[in-house]
Structure 1
Amino acid sequence: MRSPGLGRVCLVAAGALGDPALLPWVLDRLDVAPLARLAGEALSRITGAPIEGALRGAPAPGFDAGPSDDPRDTSVKMDPDTQLPWPHGANARALWAAHRGRFASGVRHVDGRPLDEGALDRVLRLGGQRRRAGAAFERAARAPGRPLFDVAARVERQRAALGASP
């Protein structure tokens, strides 16, 4: 986490690991424009609090997310976080201060729940595509030999695989 240039990787790892002990570091990244949206996603993955309503903020002032229409601009790299909402840092910190007692450090969490099969199945049923893909990998890693849950399959097949009614 101290290595320059690895902030993005560390935020993705923090969200995947799900340990609330990492949230003070994650919350500090909410004020770093290029990392803010990814930090919001990590916060949301651990706590289950969606970045909407009071937790949704405005884009960072002056932040240039990607290629411009200027033909002289040599940067053509697309913003990897374009689909992620901007978090409101102060409100996110207040939420964490109010609810941190619900979360045990050293215990992995996913969407606000201790990480177990039930929590992973819940993410597979209700989560967005990025979270569902992460839950599928986590589920397969927890049971060697179990095939990877196909989050790209038709919804009827996914529901059947989860034992859910249509």
Structure 2
Amino acid sequence: MVIRKLPPMDAAGLLESLRRIPAKIHMAITGFGALGDPAFIPLVMGQMQVPELARPAGEAFSMLTGVDIAYQDLEGEWPERFEAGPTEDPKDEDVVMEPDEDLLWSDVELIQTWWEQNKSNYKTEPGISWENPSVWKPFKMYLKMAPSASRPQLPSNWP
């Protein structure tokens, strides 16, 4: 994953910009896990509340903390009325397998309790604060230099 090859501040800025694009948020959550900075754990935990993102967020939480969700009994249940992937209906034209089908559901309350009890064991990368304008500087420079065809489409409220 290219995110691990970038300097941490550049990677963080790129992932934060992707997180603001609805079609790219899944990729961003996975990237936050791969980046490995515990500063992103609260952000990742917040995504566990969204059924479509709960499983990749749980996986990212595992990557960031090293905790095995199943072994630590932090697993949750499939949310009621949540549907993903192909259905049993032969008329359903959606036959694409769901990319997160092998990932576990996390129990958000248990995860939050675990984090509160263990967060002092994790050190964050100094300087990463989304209020800090320097976080955005490398990505803004990239946008100025990148060919227009390869530039990501960013929301109008992007900093």
TM-score by length of 1: 0.61
Residue number among 39, 47, 53 corresponding to 1:35 in the alignment: 53
Offset of 1:54 from its aligned partner? 2.7
Q: Percent identity?
A: 36
CA distance in 2, matches of 1:69, 1:102: 45
**d(CA) in 1 for partners of 2:113 and 2:23?**
28
1:60 equivalent in structure 2: 79
Task: Name stretches of at least 5 consecutive residues in structure 1 with no aligned partner.
Answer: 108-166
The one-letter amino acid of 2:80's match is P
What is the aligned residue count? 107
Q: How does 1:129-140 map to 2 (within 5 A)?
A: none
Structure 1 stretches of 4+ moved >3 Å: none
Residue 119 (structure 2) aligns with: 100
Quote the offset at 1:49 in angstroms: 0.9
Q: 1:12 and 2:30 equivalent?
A: yes
Match of 1:88 in 2: 107
Q: For 1:10-44, what per-residue CA distance to the aligned partner results, in whole angstroms no more than 9, with x for missing partners?
A: 11101100111111110011111111111001001
CA RMSD, Structure 1 to Structure 2 (Å): 1.3
Name the CA distance, whole Å, in 1 between partners of 2:43 and 2:51.
Answer: 15
Name the amino acid aligned to 1:49: V
Higher relative contact order (CA 8 A, sep 6+): 2
Instruction: Look up the SS of the partner of 1:77 in the other structure.
Output: coil
In the alignment, structure 2 segments of 5+ residues that lack a partner are 1-18, 127-159
3-state SS, counterpart of residue 100 of structure 1: helix
Q: Secondary structure at the match of 1:6?
A: helix
- Which residue among 33, 42, 60 is the counterpart of 1:24? 42
